[in-house]
Amino acid sequence: MGMSCIYCAKSVINQNPMTIPGKGVAHLRCFQTDQALKRTFQSLDIAKLNDAELADLKEMVLAEENARNNDNDDIELF
Ligand SMILES: [Zn+2]
């Protein structure tokens, strides 16, 4: 593994490199730009999911939202 930014491929030496777990090193600015542009959530790159996986994720999100909304309703009722 070299000391090149995984996003722009330029050297990160003396430029406050940050470590991306499992990927390499990157400039902080490149990382932030990548996070802003990519459809990632925490370490999950949802653009890499296949259709079935994306559907599963959507179901999980909707189920979680429903669960939380129900919790909120319970709290308001009492
Ligand atoms: Zn960079």
What is the DSSP-derived secondary structure letter of residue 48? Answer: G
Specify which residues 11 forms β-bridges with: 4
pLDDT at 75 over 80: no
How many whole angstroms separate alpha carbon 3 and alpha carbon 64? Answer: 40
Question: Could you read off the pLDDT of 12-43 as tens digits, one per residue?
Answer: 988 888 998 888 999 999 988 887 777 777 77
Cα 35 to averaged position of ligand 1 atoms, centre (Å): 13
Cα 54 to averaged position of ligand 1 atoms, centre (Å): 29
Q: What is the pLDDT of residue 21?
A: 87
Cα 18 to averaged position of ligand 1 atoms, centre (Å): 10
Cα 4 to averaged position of ligand 1 atoms, centre (Å): 8
